[in-house]
Amino acid sequence: MGYTTHFSGSIRIEPPIPWGLIKDSIFAHQDGHTPRADQRDVKLEVVEEPAETDEGTLIRRHAVAIVPAWEDEARDNGTENHVQQIIDQFGQGRTFAGRIDAEGEDAGDLWRVEIRDGNAVRVEVRLVWPEDEPDGELGLVRTELAEVRASLAELGADYRKVIAERDAARAEANETSRAAAIAEGRIEALGAVKTWTNEDGKRFVFVSDLAAVLGPEGRADDEAASERSRLDEPTPGEGPGGST
């Protein structure tokens, strides 16, 4: 007795294949009486559906899937090639989805037949020890994640810089507005300060009036200017226009 492989699974066919197209195909007639030369690892799963007509009930048959040909022990006679033959013969306008799993007698002899881009592909299992496992897709994911994190960090730094510049601009604008408001208020206040005109037609103001309007920042720190302003103040007993 030779090496045997056990098969399971199925590959769905959409839309199903009408009986008229497969009635003469060897894939529709795999059973215990199939000559060895015609034996295949897979077959077409044919279902029957009753249909009521004027002549009575008719039975319609069509293939809905590709399945293992044998329920007991089977040999691997080129399973992926057999699946591909079905696709080549009946695949026009149809899709095939699913897989056929295979397990051989030897430990680790696991593989499957999948459909990729309309082709039957044999996929071998890969067994590795944890310390020997390459990064594979996980490594790519880690690399992409690191790149995303770096991009986010850069965006975060740019965002904080923009916010800092915005806050600085707002502070400068607020300070400018405050200074402008102070200056405008002082100008209006200066216009309201009382002035005195002597007999020579010169106009004078009291230093205390100016100080009250300008505040500490506007007070003259020049002693000579302060002295001149003091000398210009009216003396007791004099009115705004001179002697009383």
Q: Does any domain span residue 240? A: no
Q: Which domain holds residue 43?
A: 5-127
Of the candidates 21, 146, 42, the residue with the CA atom closest to the CA atom of residue 89: 21
Q: For residues 217 and 221, what is the distance between their CA atoms, to the nearest angstrom?
A: 10
pTM, full prediction: 0.51
Answer yes or no: do 11 and 99 share one domain. yes
pLDDT, tens digit, 9 for 90 and up, residues 150-186: 888 888 888 898 999 999 999 999 999 888 888 887 7
Claim to verify: residue 25 and residue 121 sit in the same structural domain = yes
* Within-domain flag for 78: yes
Residue 243's contacts (CB-CB under 8 Å, 6 or more residues apart) are 237
- Asked whether residue 159 falls in the same domain as residue 203, the answer is no
104-142 confidence digits (pLDDT tens): 888 888 999 999 998 999 999 887 766 566 666 677 777
List, in order, residues 6 or more apart from 155 with CB less than 8 Å away.
none
Question: How many domains, in total, are found in the chain?
Answer: 3
What distances in angstroms separate CA 221 from CA 7, 93, 191, 207, 226, one per listed residue? 105, 99, 22, 12, 8
Rounded to 5 degrees, what angle do the CA atoms 147, 150, 155 make?
A: 125
Average pLDDT over residues 5-10: 90
Distance of CA 35 to the CA centre of its chain: 57
- Same domain, yes or no: 109 and 161: no
